[in-house]
Amino acid sequence: MAKILKIDPITDGVRYIIKFYLESEKVAKHFDASCLMSVREIYRPADLYVKENVLYLDTPNKDMTDHIGTLLKNTIDSTAIIP
């Protein structure tokens, strides 16, 4: 299973962001690529992106960020990653 090392919600007053710290940049990029379209189907203005080993969920709506963040966490927690 993929391992989330830490989850850090932040806001800049306009955007609501959840930072998922993952085991490696490779794992973060895997979830960015595999989840982006599903995230955008749920909420079009949502974005996923990666910086180092951190996967960022970024939206302009706090409730949608929380909702998608929960779904994304469940997806990450239940996905087996081959090293």
H-assigned helices in 1-83: 25-42, 62-77
For residues 22 and 31, give the distance between their C-alpha atoms in angstroms, rounded to a whole number. Answer: 10
> Residue 11: which of 73, 69, 75 has the closest Cα?
69
Can you give the pTM of this predicted structure? 0.93
Q: What is residue 64's predicted lDDT score, i.e. its pLDDT?
A: 98
Q: What is residue 74's predicted lDDT score, i.e. its pLDDT?
A: 97
Which residue segments constitute the domains of the chain, with CATH numbers given?
4-77 (3.30.1360.20)
Confidence of residue 13 (pLDDT cuts 50, 70, 90): confident
pLDDT tens-digit readout, 46-76: 999 999 999 999 999 999 999 999 999 999 9
